Structure 1
Amino acid sequence: MRKRLKSESKGIFPIKIDQLENLITSNFENNTDVSFSTYEYLSQKIAVFYIPYQVTPEKVENLLLKPLSETKAEWSSASILNEIPLSSGKLETKLEVILEGLISGKVFIYVENEDDIVYYPMLKIEKRALAKAETETVVLGPQVAFTESIITNLNIMRWRIRSTDLVLEKIMIGKRFPREVRMIYVKSIANETDVNTMRERLQELEVDEIEDSNVLMQFIEDSSTSIFPQFYSTELPDRASYAISKGRIGVLVENSPSAILAPTTFFSFFESTEDLYMRWNAGSFLRILRFLAMFVSVLLTPMYVAAVTFHYEIIPPQLLVSIGQSRASVPFPPIFETLFIELMIELLREAGARLPTKVGQTIGIVGGVVVGTAAVQAGITSNILIIFVTISALASFTVPSYLMGSTIRVIRFPMILLAGMLGIIGIMFGICFIIIHLLKLTSLGRPYLTPIYPFRFEDLNKVLFRLPQNYQWKRFASFQPKNLTRFQKRKANEKKDIDE
């Protein structure tokens, strides 16, 4: 619930300036944040107050105080609006709105005993310069990433999608600490049901505050208990603009450097913007490689545990001899040995991510080599398991989405436990459980495994592989956009030379 004001939220004017100052400072717990100045002219008193670090001082001095000091007419709310050459000036009477305005970077001017107060928005926006994305590294294509300034992010989206159909719908979320949220979609393309569903989820969200877009995403997902992310979080404006132009919905949050994209499929997390900029065959190869890497990451070490513990017969004889020799001095069962190495890899990864960049890279490389070698020489683990765990860890890093990559790494641990207890039967049980869970999941009400389930042959070339651009004449039909056609197929395939 919002903090109770020390005065009624109805109109408080007319009022003496001394009383107004006491009222304002008492509601800010008598701290020194508010700059409250009083001026006199022709037996009139005028007050100018604002929070200094929330406004731009040069604007206050040149655009407000200077015209006020040079005016020869009597002060009043109407004369101030006429004398100050700014069109953004407005009148207000409620104390609650005035206090919120101070926090939002507004400058207030009050003439004693007037029935209302004048204010001008002069918010000072602190923002970092545009830079590369940290969590989504790309080689080809635009390198710029979103920033914490929602104004900058909206400017980027307007610049990338130059259409009058682009809607930037504003929604305020947070009862105690309101934060601006923008829902972005192309009105002539986006499915109306998806737009209404997203709007309803955002408007009905009752929380004190939203710290970041990734926090908001957890509130509005279809299943908050699932380990799989149902919305895509991206730092790349080109990925966001591409998804929005295909009929999806984007969400930007004030002070957050990432955008939410919905609805999303399971296969979207394995797509990279580089797939679009490469030749279609190279892009398709890399996308298929990522899917294979996912299976390797989830199943390689569990299969090792199952084979060494229960199913020696599936191991080739020559490899079985090597495994037996490498495990001869290891006193632990394969399940404990594997869990130990997997946890060590995760610790190194987490340490490398939290330390400064140059130190983190050194820790990741040197630490992995030193600890792995020491573990083998000490007889804690075998050489072959080190190879399998390293391949499994590398495979998990090929996923473009950090959220899905983290999910795959977490899934690997229960799969190892099932393999250690039940062998291949346990692995199959784990795979069946994951598939059933994925079949039940939805993203903004759309099936999570589309176009595999429900099956849509026409959409397979948009998720599992990629065709040449002149064959991509339809949008993703599974999300039922208003306008399914991107361009005319016949005209796209026509190629005429200059002499024809």
Structure 2
Amino acid sequence: MTTKVYIDALNQKFNQSPDLIHKVFDIKGQSIVIHFISYQIKKERLDREILEPLTSSRKPWSVNDLQNRIPLASSKAETNLEEIAGQIIHGSVTVYIEGEKEVITYLLADQEQRSLERAETESLVFGPQVSFTESMITNLNVVRWRLDTDDLVMKKLIVGERIPTEVRIVYLKSLTNEENVETITQRIEDLVVDEIEDTSVLSQLIEDSSSTVFPQLIATELPDRFCHSLMKGRVGVMVDKSPTVLIGPVSLFSFFESTEDLYMRWNMGTFMRLLRILAMMLSIILTPMYVAALTYHYEVIPGSLLVSLGQSRATVPFPPVLEALLLETLIELLREAGARLPTKVGQTMGIVGGIVLGQAAVKAGFTSNILIIIIALSALASFTAPSYLMGTAIRVIRFPMIILAGAWGLIGIAFALCFLVIHLLKLSSLGRPYLAPVYPLSIKDFSDSIIRLPYNKNPKRPTSTMPKDPDRFDENKAKQKKDVNPS
């Protein structure tokens, strides 16, 4: 292949893009072509490590000479034009010597990336404050730093027909069940998509059920939570250009765990977990119970409270179900608007908007004071979930439950709860039960999900992930006294 043919082929591959730079050097009568994209490489490295030794040579070059005399660790020999173009896109400089069959590529990427910062969606009071970034290299470095063992496996996959994206499957070889690894690997390899924009998109593509509102894989931006999950025998998935990672298999109760529970004393950590689970239940049934009681079941309301309810609703023209749906929609509008506006404006708008609209709605006779309190409690309870996706799912569930409560009262709520339990029983995460350890029942696994025992009382890993090594440590040795005998 002549120099002109090679240059024309690459230009055609890049659709005559002005970003593709090529330079031709005539060294001792030998034509050498260098290709690169100017804003994707470190130009000082190009000048110092490639151009300077290349142009100062007193004898002709060959492919073997390039690899021996410019021995950069990132050098590769390529013959396929597709591979050469792909290397250029990812920040490589290609060197072609006329008459040679192979092209040498040197990775000199100068990628824009933000530094490690605090987590935004999963903020912690105790524990490490660092979060993942959009750079795969940075994220891998953080995980390697936290889990500095040769037992850590990082399997590389490329997903995307039009825009190939690097995906890493991360796990500990001596702990993780091979079936879990094979399941998630097969699901990713079987994907036929144009691109993977983010881990949240990948999660929707590989989850067991796409029709449910419940997430079946945890998406987190916290490296400590990711590494702690790997130590339980779970599998992690990282996607290039995404600041979040996936963890699976998980259960419903995993979404109410926080790594902050690990850094607190065990009794406080247990209290916080139970509080979140109780808050989830209250968030789901509190408003529907209000609607059902006022619509069909006045007898369940204490007499003194019934008088207050009657007075507060005396001027309300809507039935309880419509009143509740109106306020729930108002809360969701305030939440969504506060999330989309700039931080300072969003916080102010959320507080002021909630107070002003709430007071105005009561004075105008659109709603009652008691319902505003109940709606506010339900909203606060849903915000206690550490997982944003699970908190959103809980808020979505409330709407059909309110409608059923308005249609059939307590019977409608009972029907909705039965349907919800049946639905959760049918769900799975990478083929593992979604309601573990409640179903199938495993009392020992409660210490890793619903409660948190002291570290020396929790020698077993959760069985729901089917780890190869179920033991964290020898329980008998942990019970031995280590104190020095003063006598």
Instruction: Tell me whether the two structures share a fold, i.e. TM-score over 0.5.
Output: yes
Q: CA offsets, 1:384-441, max 9 Å, x none?
A: 1111000110000001110100000000000000011111100011000000000011
Q: How does 1:418-429 map to 2 (within 5 A)?
A: 418-429=404-415
1:476 aligns with 2:462: yes
2:401–2:416 Cα contact (<8 Å) kept = yes
**Residue 89 of structure 1: CA displacement?**
2.4
Query: Partner of 2:144 in structure 1?
Result: 158
Query: Partner of 1:321 in structure 2?
Result: 307
Percent identity of paired positions between Structure 1 and Structure 2: 54
1:491 aligns with 2:450: no
Question: 1:114, 1:426 → 2: CA distance?
Answer: 77
1:303 aligns with 2:293: no
**Residue 495 of structure 1: CA displacement?**
3.1
Report the more deviating stretch, 324-333 or 70-79.
Answer: 70-79
1:395 aligns with 2:381: yes
Query: Partner of 2:79 in structure 1?
Result: 93
Question: 2:188, 2:280 → 1: CA distance?
Answer: 33
**Residue 270 of structure 1: CA displacement?**
0.6
Query: Partner of 1:53 in structure 2?
Result: 39
Query: Partner of 1:277 in structure 2?
Result: 263
Query: Partner of 2:110 in structure 1?
Result: 124
1:364 aligns with 2:350: yes
1:67 aligns with 2:53: yes
Report the more deviating stretch, 28-37 or 405-414.
Answer: 28-37
Runs of 4 or more above 3 Å deviation? none
Q: How does 1:101-250 map to 2 (within 5 A)?
A: 101-250=87-236
**Residue 254 of structure 1: CA displacement?**
0.4
1:71–1:83 Cα contact (<8 Å) kept = no
Q: CA offsets, 1:20-52, max 9 Å, x none?
A: 222221221212010111111222221111111
Q: CA offsets, 1:214-248, max 9 Å, x none?
A: 10000000011111111111110000100101100
Normalising to structure 2: TM-score of the pair? 0.98
Amino acid corresponding to residue 12 of structure 2 in structure 1: S
**Alignment length (residue pairs):** 486
Query: Partner of 2:421 in structure 1?
Result: 435
2:28–2:59 Cα contact (<8 Å) kept = no
**Residue 187 of structure 1: CA displacement?**
0.7
**Residue 203 of structure 1: CA displacement?**
1.2
Query: Partner of 1:263 in structure 2?
Result: 249
Question: 1:79, 1:191 → 2: CA distance?
Answer: 47
Question: 1:132, 1:497 → 2: CA distance?
Answer: 39
Normalising to structure 1: TM-score of the pair? 0.95
Amino acid corresponding to residue 268 of structure 1 in structure 2: S
Question: 1:88, 1:361 → 2: CA distance?
Answer: 48
Amino acid corresponding to residue 463 of structure 1 in structure 2: S
Q: CA offsets, 1:265-286, max 9 Å, x none?
A: 0000011111111111111111
Q: How does 1:427-466 map to 2 (within 5 A)?
A: 427-466=413-452
Report the more deviating stretch, 210-219 or 190-199.
Answer: 190-199
Question: 2:19, 2:335 → 1: CA distance?
Answer: 43
Question: 2:255, 2:75 → 1: CA distance?
Answer: 47
2:220–2:245 Cα contact (<8 Å) kept = yes
| Paired residue secondary structure (1:182) | strand
Question: 2:73, 2:473 → 1: CA distance?
Answer: 43
| Paired residue secondary structure (1:36) | strand
| Paired residue secondary structure (2:171) | strand
Question: 2:144, 2:14 → 1: CA distance?
Answer: 38
**Residue 58 of structure 1: CA displacement?**
1.4
Question: 1:250, 1:119 → 2: CA distance?
Answer: 31
Q: What is the RMSD computed on CA atoms of the aligned residues? A: 1.1
1:293 to 271, 279, 293: 279
| Paired residue secondary structure (1:148) | coil
**Residue 463 of structure 1: CA displacement?**
1.4
Question: 2:475, 2:69 → 1: CA distance?
Answer: 60
| Paired residue secondary structure (1:252) | strand
1:189–1:482 Cα contact (<8 Å) kept = yes
Structure 1 unaligned residues grouped into runs of 5+? 1-13
Amino acid corresponding to residue 292 of structure 1 in structure 2: L
Question: 1:407, 1:46 → 2: CA distance?
Answer: 59
Q: CA offsets, 1:1-20, max 9 Å, x none?
A: xxxxxxxxxxxxx22x2232
Question: 2:59, 2:68 → 1: CA distance?
Answer: 11
Question: 1:187, 1:115 → 2: CA distance?
Answer: 40
**Residue 190 of structure 1: CA displacement?**
0.6
1:335 aligns with 2:313: no
1:185–1:249 Cα contact (<8 Å) kept = yes
Question: 1:476, 1:465 → 2: CA distance?
Answer: 12
Question: 2:170, 2:102 → 1: CA distance?
Answer: 36
1:68–1:83 Cα contact (<8 Å) kept = no
1:337–1:380 Cα contact (<8 Å) kept = yes
2:159–2:196 Cα contact (<8 Å) kept = yes
